[in-house]
Amino acid sequence: MKYFLRPTVCIQVCPFSLRVVSVVGITYLLPQEEQPLCHPTVERALKSCGPGGTAHVKLVVEWDKETKDFLFVNTEDEYIPDAESVRLQRERHHQPQTCTLSQCFQLYTKEERLAPDDAWRCPHCKQLQQGSITLSLWTLPDVLIIHLKRFRQEGDRHMKLQNMVKFPLTGLDMTPHVVKRSQSSWSLPSHWSPWRRPYGLGRDPEDYIYDLYAVCNHHGTMQGGHYTAYCKNSVDGVWYCFDDSDVQQLAEDEVCTQTAYILFYQRRTAIPSWSANSSVAVYKGQA
């Protein structure tokens, strides 16, 4: 923009008004102060930025025609290109954000360093220590229900996350996400809660493998939406889409979508022998 300014212009003495554009397109007049970007209006605009992009604000500079003619040489055919960083951020924002279910588990079980305010007092040295916290899976159920986080609150705004989470239809391996126990830890004290005992979970690698049999989908926003279900027939192994009273056959490559909300997996070793899932698993294993 500086290329269109007259050489003799002193920008600091030219009167103009600044407006910040909010997420809904409304502009607010910023006060004429030395640091207008420190105004609460700017903070609210930053917090209202949607997911998938860098937090940013859009500013509008306003002046009357007389002031504009004084500032610029010729504005009839003016073209003000975006900065390279703006173009790159815009491209990243429009690219579909995807991740895998395995990456979600890795992030869920990742070690987190506690803030200094959450320091704990060591019982040995009696000093405050900055610790860490890790969420781990101690044991696994026969039916594993995974609830994807599709809704988020930022300040006063509620939004739905449209990220594509790629999940496997068969062969979900939970081995990397379960706490590795020593040989002695398989025999636990009898007074422990059943939830702490590895019930039904042995040393067979197949105990950690899961196959998908149903998906609950959410369509719409937080203010209003609709639910559908994808379910796999345990007899013939065919997927079906249930939309209220409408039921249609579904191809396997159509099961994984951005609308997936709740995933239902079954442990492979817990699948009945008469189930289509069991026969498919045995066939693939022999192949």
Domain of 191: which CATH number?
3.90.70.10
Q: Is the model's pLDDT at 263 over the cut of 80? A: yes
Residues 90 and 105 in one domain: no
Same domain for 130 and 222: yes
Q: Lowest-pLDDT range, 184-188, 203-207, 258-262?
A: 184-188
**Burial of 260 by CB count in 10 Å (0-12 exposed, 13-18 middle, 19+ buried)?**
buried
Q: Is the pLDDT of residue 257 over 90?
A: yes
pLDDT for 55: 67
User: Containing domain of residue 125, as a range?
Assistant: 98-286
How do beta strands 209-220 and 260-267 pair? antiparallel
Which of 94, 115, 135 terminates a domain? The answer is 94
Contacts of 106 (CB under 8 A, 6+ apart): 176, 177
Show which of 94, 111, 127 is a domain's final residue.
94
Burial of 46 (0-12, 13-18, 19+ CB in 10 A): middle
- Is residue 165 located within the same domain as residue 76? no
* 131/156 same-domain check: yes
Show which of 37, 71, 94 is a domain's final residue.
Answer: 94
pLDDT tens-digit readout, 93-147: 655 578 999 999 998 888 888 777 778 888 888 888 888 888 888 889 999 999 9
Same domain, 90 and 196: no
Q: At residue 18, does pLDDT exceed 80? A: no
Q: Is the pLDDT of residue 170 over 80?
A: yes
Share of the chain above pLDDT 90, in %: 26
pLDDT bracket for residue 37 (50, 70, 90): confident
Exposure string over 108-119, b if 16+ CB within 10 A, otherwise e: eeeeeeeeeeee
- Same domain for 266 and 279, yes or no, is yes
Which pLDDT belongs to residue 281? 42
Check whether residue 184 and residue 239 sit in a common domain: yes
Q: Are residues 153 and 267 in the same domain?
A: yes
In a shared domain, residues 78 and 215: no
pLDDT of residue 43: 76
Same domain, 83 and 120: no
Same-domain check for residues 10 and 50:
yes
Q: Mean per-residue pLDDT for 199-221?
A: 82
Do 116 and 85 sit in the same domain of this protein?
no
Question: What is the total count of domains within the chain?
Answer: 2
